[in-house]
Chain A
Amino acid sequence: MAFRDFLKRFSRQRWFTPKTCRPLSLTFSQFREVLKANNQALEIIADMGEKLSGDYLFDLRYVEATVEEMIAAMRRAIITINLLTLDKCVALHGIFAPMEARVRAILIRRDDRDGPPLLWLAEVETRHWPLVGGKAAHLSELLHNPKVKVPEGFVITTSFFHDLLDNNGICPEFDLFERMLTEPEINEDELERLRRTLREKVLQAEPPNGFLEKLTVVIERLAAIGGPPLFLAVRSSAQEEDMDFSFAGQFHSVLQVPSQAEAVYRAYLQVAASLFAAKAIHYRRQVFPEGCPMSIAACCQRMIQAAASGIIYSLDPMAPGSRNMVAVGALGQGQAVVEGQVPTDFFRISRGEPPRVLERVLAAKHDALRPKGGDDGGLTMQKVSAGQAEAPCLDEPTLLALAAVAMHLETFFKRPQDIEWTLDPRGDLYILQSRPLLITESAREKSLLSEQLDGYELVASEAGRVAQQGIGAGPAYWVETLADLKDFPEGAVLISHRDSSQFVQVMHRAAAIVTEVGSPTSHMATLCRELRVPCLVGVSEIMAKVANGEEITVDAEDRRIYRGKAVELLTYQATTSMDLHMAPEFRLLRRILRDVSRLNLVDPLMQEFRPEGCKTFHDVLRYIHETAVLELVELGRDENCLPGGLARRLALPIQAGILAIDIGGGIAPDVSSDQVPFTAIRSIPFRAILQGMLFPGAWHQETMPVSFRDMMHSMMTTPQDTLSGQYTGHNIAIISENYVNLCFRFGYHFNIIDAFCHEVERDNHIYFRFLGGATDIAKRSRRATLIATILEAFDFSVKTRGDLVIARTGNLARSEMERTLDILGRLIGFTRQLDVQMTDDRVVARYAEAFLMGDYGVVAEK
């Protein structure tokens, strides 16, 4: 009894949320308003994103003006969704307010000031990047990469840095200093005086109240992971460091720091004060001649006991055309290598599959930087035994493993990398830093590029549209269903008929993405820009021209695709891609988009799909869109709310028993009779579904022979079992020119299709829900599995629970929408009574296969 009550409550929640009856046309026009506002915001975001693709020229004025427009559109979207849902989404106002504040802070370059003083490295998210600095941001990304080992740690944030200045009364001098750097004529003496003052004051700064206690907590957390003895490496992570400029060696690092809060704090002060070191200021003025606000964070990680350490470049910067890697290494800690204190072994490695060691130049490594050994930490140069000094610091397998990591990181970050590595005594390789490798090449070689490229066969030119600029090469990998993503190889070019935001799963591994349909404003395109994956969309028939596994080069700048690996083009890319990202307008726009365009709520079927799960503008818009669709889905459910007089019977050659309610442009105006023929249907999505239902063979007229047991089951369970017994009433379609909400009540199961379809791809959606059946739960669940299998094959995002199937898709061009809806129409007919036949699990596979092959007759064969 209790269980049945539970079921009732469960089903009531899902199916019978009591609500007031509003006029359908009002609900629908409010839905349109939501779409409109949502689209405006999305278009602005997409527009900004497209600017970032590298395909445009824009200036700072553009960025400022566009941000204001975007915020206004976001507010409209939130207001309209609350009108539609009768204030079910009021929480969005409160959720959006801090997002807006953050973006405004970015516009005035103040986004490094608001946040926690300490962040656990593994918990750093994109929104924290301005707080943790470039180095820590990169390392936190790598911490989640299973192919790379990174020492655990935490970050003392830039927000703490500003608190420190504030608490110690250093702010006025700091502000003056920043201002001076933006002036065209700088008083050098004054700047020098200020620099020294700031440096001294920071070195002597007192910690804000309670900070050392907080520091102790994170240090203890770190100790609990690796066990004692714990020493820390406290490294600078300046705002712009590693992201676009190398800032190599400009700031201070303190190594082998004892694990007491006081010691870590003192080390931190040295790191923070190095923001005002003479050499750092000099470098900064070179790369930011127009000035640029900067603060500094410190990345505090567990020290790795180093057997050997060094650097590897994923591409030889002296000969980028050679497509080789170079590595150097020495014994002990790597600081001695980066500061050039010890002779190093040199290795040249080919980037082939697999990589090969081409050259070894070994040094006599008589000294190594190693821990002093005391409790107070510190490193010192120590003698190496004669035998060890002559041997290579890395054996061949380790060197090749390192090379594989370097190539992986290049694919991951989409640029050649300069990587600091260390090897612990157990033979585990750790990555301490990975940053873009700066390469310059003579202009002479560049001008020959177009001639060199003549040697490659052009597979496509003037191909599609650029979603993200860049150049990528690798074996083509066809993705025909989302399941193919599981085996996506490292460094491959993803080729697909249509685009999908699900591709995000492999973007870090992809060299480039090419799709036959899709637009540069899709979710996928946004993700490509965020992760800088070169991407062309709308390249027609590429799958016919490129074989699965065949090596190709995608030039998503000039919209060309070459057969083979166009090495010259890749070299060109390595030597030029940096320039673009250095411009202040690019950096600003990128920061804004990082907060705005990332999509975390990818799957509406996931738990976190709720207002509180929204982290970016894009999330909010996604949530609003989904909520608006769900609001519509409920439209036709409650027959009590439907205006009886408007319903007109469809005259179809099949016995579907559908009543249509036209809320605008869904039925040809000149049809006067109550019996509406198929030819009079003007609703684009409804017509497509009907077309599928009418497809020869798809709709089975025969009644399935129901077994005695099934019959008993349906009788016994009605009406108590609310999950299967209640769907009596009409099959109702609420339609307009671009919309359909179709509710089928086929005796024992309930099926909703809600679809919107017009020329703007982004607006288009299909929502499909199926529940119930006449037979026992095992058979019904099998039918659910069958439906899920088929829908997945058509790229729906699907969730099943027992006999409930929820599937969604969208963001498709009109023609794709019609095709998909046609398939759904066939599916409705095909599976209508199938649960009776679902006697065992093998039948599921056989019927799925038959449906996909277009063999709809299999149902009747039995």
Chain B
Amino acid sequence: MNQTNTRLLVVDDEPIVGKRLKQVFDKIGFAVETYTDSAAALAAIAEKSFDIVVTDLKMEGIDGVEVLKRVRAMNPKTRVIIITGYASPDTAELAEQEGVFAFLAKPFRLDELKEVIFRAMEPDRIKS
């Protein structure tokens, strides 16, 4: 399960989320950056590319769908996973249209997220 060099960015305004995911993915060798502020996260994404971005949906300022749009615009290869406690079918559809890789409802098992992320790392994965 050695995933050295996979670059993962996590943005969620609840600090526990970033802290926890960093712990989990550090352990298996990812390079993880975490942000509680979506603007700062986007600034980091503008500077270097990430393989995977995990973002919360509801955030102050720039929300998850907007993060998704901008990330996809900057680097279409980056997989974006949205985690949320309040997914309405509308937002889900909107996110689908914008090319979200997966939606995950909180609370979720870290294993579930791991699985989604491993799936996102499969090289030839085509998501339309």
Chain A interface (Cβ within 8 Å of chain B)? Answer: 51, 55-59, 61-62, 443, 446-447, 449-451, 454, 461, 557-558, 572, 576, 579-580, 583, 585-586
22 A-B pairs within 8 Å (CB atoms) are namely A51-B107, A56-B107, A56-B108, A57-B16, A57-B21, A57-B106, A57-B108, A58-B107, A59-B14, A62-B107, A443-B26, A446-B26, A446-B27, A447-B29, A447-B31, A449-B27, A450-B29, A451-B2, A451-B4, A461-B1, A558-B1, A583-B19
- Extra inter-chain contacts (13) besides given A449-B27, A454-B2, A579-B19, CB under 8 Å: A56-B107, A57-B83, A57-B107, A59-B16, A449-B29, A450-B1, A450-B4, A450-B27, A451-B4, A557-B24, A558-B1, A583-B16, A586-B16
Q: Does B73 contact A (CB under 8 A)?
A: no
Distance between B20 CB and nearest chain A CB, rounded to angstroms: 6
Q: Which residues of B have CB within 8 Å of A450? A: 1-4, 27-29
C-alpha spacing A586/B29, complex, angstroms: 26
Q: Is the CB of B29 within 8 A of A57?
A: no
C-beta contact mask, B1-37 vs A, less than 8 Å → 1, else 0? 1111000000000111101110110111101000000
Q: Does B47 contact A (CB under 8 A)?
A: no
C-alpha spacing A454/B28, complex, angstroms: 12
Q: Select the residue from A58, A61, A585 with max chain B CB neighbours within 10 A.
A: A58
Q: Is the CB of B85 within 8 A of A558?
A: no
Q: Is the CB of A55 within 8 A of B27?
A: no
Q: Does B110 contact A (CB under 8 A)?
A: yes
C-alpha spacing A461/B85, complex, angstroms: 31
Partner of B23, one of A51, A454, A579, A585: A579
C-alpha spacing A340/B83, complex, angstroms: 49
**Which residue on chain B has the smallest CB distance to residue A577?**
B23
C-alpha spacing A557/B21, complex, angstroms: 13
Q: Which residues of B have CB within 8 Å of A447? A: 4, 26, 29, 31
C-alpha spacing A557/B19, complex, angstroms: 16
Q: Is the CB of B106 within 8 A of A572?
A: no
Distance between B121 CB and nearest chain A CB, rounded to angstroms: 15
Known: A557-B27, A579-B19. A55 touches B107 (CB 8 A): no
C-alpha spacing A56/B113, complex, angstroms: 10
Distance between B58 CB and nearest chain A CB, rounded to angstroms: 11
Distance between A631 CB and nearest chain B CB, rounded to angstroms: 37
Q: Is the CB of A57 within 8 A of B4?
A: no
C-alpha spacing A446/B22, complex, angstroms: 11
Q: Which residues of A have CB within 8 Å of B24? A: 557
Distance between A341 CB and nearest chain B CB, rounded to angstroms: 37
Partner of B109, one of A56, A61, A576: A56
Distance between A558 CB and nearest chain B CB, rounded to angstroms: 7
**Which residue on chain B has the smallest CB distance to residue A51?**
B107
Q: Which residues of B have CB within 8 Å of A59? A: 14, 16, 85, 106-107
C-alpha spacing A84/B50, complex, angstroms: 60
**Which residue on chain A has the smallest CB distance to residue B110?**
A55
Known: A451-B2, A454-B2, A580-B20. A58 touches B27 (CB 8 A): no
C-alpha spacing A81/B15, complex, angstroms: 44
Q: Which residues of B have CB within 8 Å of A62? A: 85, 106-107
Q: Which residues of A have CB within 8 Å of B31? A: 447
Q: Which residues of A have CB within 8 Å of B17? A: 57
Within 8 A of A (CB), among B41-87: 83, 85
C-alpha spacing A585/B24, complex, angstroms: 18
Q: Which residues of A have CB within 8 Å of B122? A: none
Q: Which residues of A have CB within 8 Å of B26? A: 443, 446-447, 449
Within 8 A of A (CB), among B75-103: 83, 85
Distance between A66 CB and nearest chain B CB, rounded to angstroms: 9
Distance between A438 CB and nearest chain B CB, rounded to angstroms: 16
Q: Which residues of B have CB within 8 Å of A451? A: 2, 4, 29
Q: Which residues of B have CB within 8 Å of A461? A: 1
Q: Which residues of B have CB within 8 Å of A446? A: 26-27
Q: Which residues of B have CB within 8 Å of A558? A: 1, 27-28
Q: Which residues of B have CB within 8 Å of A56? A: 107-110
Q: Which residues of A have CB within 8 Å of B111? A: 55
C-alpha spacing A55/B109, complex, angstroms: 6
Partner of B110, one of A57, A443, A449, A572: A57
C-alpha spacing A264/B52, complex, angstroms: 60
C-alpha spacing A443/B109, complex, angstroms: 25
Q: Which residues of A have CB within 8 Å of B1? A: 450, 461, 558
**Which residue on chain B has the smallest CB distance to residue A559?**
B111
Distance between B1 CB and nearest chain A CB, rounded to angstroms: 7
C-alpha spacing A61/B83, complex, angstroms: 15
Q: Which residues of A have CB within 8 Å of B85? A: 59, 61-62
Q: Which residues of A have CB within 8 Å of B113? A: 57
C-alpha spacing A61/B27, complex, angstroms: 28
**Which residue on chain B has the smallest CB distance to residue A62?**
B107
Q: Which residues of B have CB within 8 Å of A557? A: 24, 27
Q: Is the CB of A57 within 8 A of B20?
A: yes
Distance between A619 CB and nearest chain B CB, rounded to angstroms: 26
C-alpha spacing A776/B37, complex, angstroms: 81
Q: Which residues of A have CB within 8 Å of B27? A: 446, 449-450, 557-558, 572
**Which residue on chain B has the smallest CB distance to residue A454?**
B2
C-alpha spacing A121/B4, complex, angstroms: 51
C-alpha spacing A59/B3, complex, angstroms: 28
Distance between A654 CB and nearest chain B CB, rounded to angstroms: 50
C-alpha spacing A529/B21, complex, angstroms: 21
- A-B complex: 3 closest residue pairs judged by Cβ atoms: A58-B107, A450-B29, A583-B16
Q: Which residues of A have CB within 8 Å of B3? A: 450
Q: Which residues of B have CB within 8 Å of A576? A: 23
Q: Which residues of A have CB within 8 Å of B29? A: 447, 449-451
Distance between B53 CB and nearest chain A CB, rounded to angstroms: 16
C-alpha spacing A297/B21, complex, angstroms: 36
Q: Which residues of B have CB within 8 Å of A443? A: 26
Distance between A492 CB and nearest chain B CB, rounded to angstroms: 25
**Which residue on chain A has the smallest CB distance to residue B31?**
A447
Q: Which residues of B have CB within 8 Å of A572? A: 27
C-alpha spacing A150/B23, complex, angstroms: 36
C-alpha spacing A576/B17, complex, angstroms: 15
Distance between A201 CB and nearest chain B CB, rounded to angstroms: 35
Q: Which residues of B have CB within 8 Å of A57? A: 16-17, 20-21, 83, 106-108, 110, 113
Q: Which residues of B have CB within 8 Å of A51? A: 107
Q: Select the residue from B19, B21, B29 with max chain A CB neighbours within 10 A.
A: B29
**Which residue on chain A has the smallest CB distance to residue B22?**
A579
Q: Which residues of A have CB within 8 Å of B109? A: 55-56
Distance between A560 CB and nearest chain B CB, rounded to angstroms: 8
Q: Which residues of B have CB within 8 Å of A580? A: 19-20, 23
